[in-house]
Structure 1
C-alpha cells in the first residue's frame, strides 16, 4: 500500500510532467510546428469524463450508438446505410450479490462482433423502461432521420430487429410477463390457475402490431413502451 509520502511524490511527478510537456509543446508551436496539439490533454490522451445518470433503482451509462459505430469506422469501411440488430438482456454479476447488469448491445447485420451501446447497473432491474431506453431511442431516431458524418462520408442507421429472451421482451414492450394471466405475447388467451398459470385454450385471436398499439386487450399492457415511437412491429420487435 502506498504511503502518504509516496502518493504526494506520484502527484508531484504527474503535475511536473504535464507542466513540462505543456510548455515544451508551446515552444514547438512558436518554432512553427503548428501540427501539434496545443492542449496537453490531447497529447497524453486524458480520458473524457464518463457520464453516469440515475436510472431507478440504479444508474445508467450511455456509451452511444454513434460512438460505437465511429469506433468501428476508424479501422474499416461500412456501407452508407448501416443495418443493425439490438439485444437487451439482464444478468446477475455474481451469485453472492444481488447486483445486476442490463445491457443494450448492437450488432451490424452480417457481422459477428457485438458492441455496447449502454449499460444499467443496480440491485434490481430498471423500474422504468422509459428511463432505461430513452437515451438510445432518441439517439437512434436522430441517426435514422439525419444520420452522421465521418471522414467526409455520410451514414444512416436502420434497426432491423430487437433480440430478447422472454422476460426481456416483456420488459421492452412493457407488458405482462409470460407467466401472467394475460402474458402471452402472441395471442389474446387468458390464463387459468393450475398451481401455476397455464394456457388451456387454442385457436384464439392472434395479436397484431395494430391491436397492440390500440390496446385491444388492455390487461396485457403495463404501460407505454418507447419502442412504440419506432417503425417496428411490436409483436415481433422487428422493422416493418
Structure 2
C-alpha cells in the first residue's frame, strides 16, 4: 500500500489520534448551530462536516486544505465574523484533535468490491484482483479501551452501574426495561454472563444521516449504549460508546464495515478490557445483547430485501402484495395460518452466524 503524503494534516497513519470532544460530537450531534453569517444557509457545524467530507473524499493534503480555506475566506462577506475553523488548517486540525486523545484505526477498502484491504495486498485487491487505487477508500474504528477507561474515571458512572438492583418497579408483571426481558434474565441467572458483577452488556445501533441539507455525504456511526446505566444516563452522548464511523457519498457495505467491529465485540466478550475503577484495576467483559435500527438499516445488516419489497418481511418468507391506498399503494401480507419462518430471523449480530 502506498504511503500518504507527508503533509497530510489530519490523519498521519493507519493508527492515529483524534479527540472525542469535537470530532466524535460531530457524529453524535444534530449539527444545528448558528449560521456562518446572516443570510447563509449552512451552520458552523455544517461547514466543519463539509470540510471533513471534502478532506476524506479527496484525500486532501495540508496544502490543498489551506487553498480551500483561503478560497472560502475570499467568498465570505467582509462583515462576517470568521469562525476559527476557517482561519487556518491549524485551527481546523486543533478542532478535530484537541482534548483527550483516543486511538483511531483506519481500514482501507477496495474501490471496486468494497472489501477490506490487508497490508499484504500490494497493487492488486486479493478479493476482486483489480488494481488498488493510490488513495483507497476507508472507514475508521475507535479504540474501546480508552473510552471505557474515561467513563470509569467518573464516580457517578461507577455508582450508577448498580441501577439494575436499585431501581423501583411498581409492578413485577410490567416490562419496563431491558432487564425484564427473557434474554437479559437468561444472562443474569446462575452461571450467566451478567451474573459476574464486573461484566456489562450493550445494545448497538447504526443509521445514516446527511451531514447537511446541501450535501450528499452521509455519516454512518456504529455505536452502543451500556444497559446497566439508568435510562437518564444510558442514552447521553457522553456515555455512548462509538465503535466505528463510515463517512462518504455511498452507503456502507455493512458486511465489510462490521467485520472489524464484530472482532472487537468478540474480544470484549471473551477477553474484556482492563479499566481503572477508583483505586483498583479490574477486567470488564462486555456482551452485545441486541441491535436496534430502523427497517432500511436492518435490511442492510441482514442483507435482505427492504420492507417495501414483495419479500420484505424480516421474520417470515411469505410473499406480500401491493394494495392501493389513496394516491399510492402499500405493502401488505395476507393472513397465513402456518407461515414459513426465515431461519435468519434470529441473526446473531455478535458472531455473525445463525441463531
TM-score by length of 1: 0.63
Matches within 5 A, 1:83-162: 83-109=201-227, 110=229, 111-113=234-236, 114-126=240-252, 128-151=253-276, 152-162=281-291
- Give 1:92 shift: 0.9
Preserved contact between residue 88 and residue 105 of structure 1 (Cα < 8 Å): yes
- Give 1:149 shift: 1.6
Q: Note if 1:185 corresponds to 2:317.
A: no
- Give 1:98 shift: 0.6
- Give 1:226 shift: 8.0
- Give 1:159 shift: 1.2
Q: Which runs of 5+ in 2 are unaligned?
A: 1-65, 67-98, 115-136, 162-196
TM-score by length of 2: 0.44
Q: Deviations over 1:43-93 (max 9, x none)?
A: xx9957743323467531101333322221232435511111111111111
Q: Note if 1:66 corresponds to 2:145.
A: yes
1:153–1:231: structure 2 CA closer, same or farther, 3 Å change rule?
Answer: farther
Instruction: Select the residue among 334, 341, 353 that pairs with 1:207.
Output: 341
SS in 2 for 1:190: coil
Q: C-alpha distance in 2, partners of 1:147/1:160?
A: 15
Q: Deviations over 1:178-205 (max 9, x none)?
A: 1112111122221234575622411351
Preserved contact between residue 102 and residue 146 of structure 2 (Cα < 8 Å): no
After superposing the two structures, state which structure 1 stretch, 49-58 or 63-72, moved more. 49-58
Q: Deviations over 1:10-53 (max 9, x none)?
A: xxxxxxxxxxxxxxxxxxxxxxxxxxxxxxxxxxx995774332
Preserved contact between residue 89 and residue 102 of structure 1 (Cα < 8 Å): yes
Higher Rg of the two aligned structures:
1
1:148–1:200: structure 2 CA closer, same or farther, 3 Å change rule?
Answer: closer
Preserved contact between residue 102 and residue 142 of structure 2 (Cα < 8 Å): no
Q: C-alpha distance in 1, partners of 2:333/2:291?
A: 29
Matched residue count: 180
After superposing the two structures, state which structure 1 stretch, 179-188 or 61-70, moved more. 61-70
Preserved contact between residue 191 and residue 197 of structure 1 (Cα < 8 Å): no
Q: C-alpha distance in 1, partners of 2:256/2:348?
A: 10
Q: Which runs of 5+ in 1 are unaligned?
A: 2-44, 215-224, 234-240
Q: What is the RMSD of the two structures over their aligned residues, measured on CA atoms?
A: 3.4
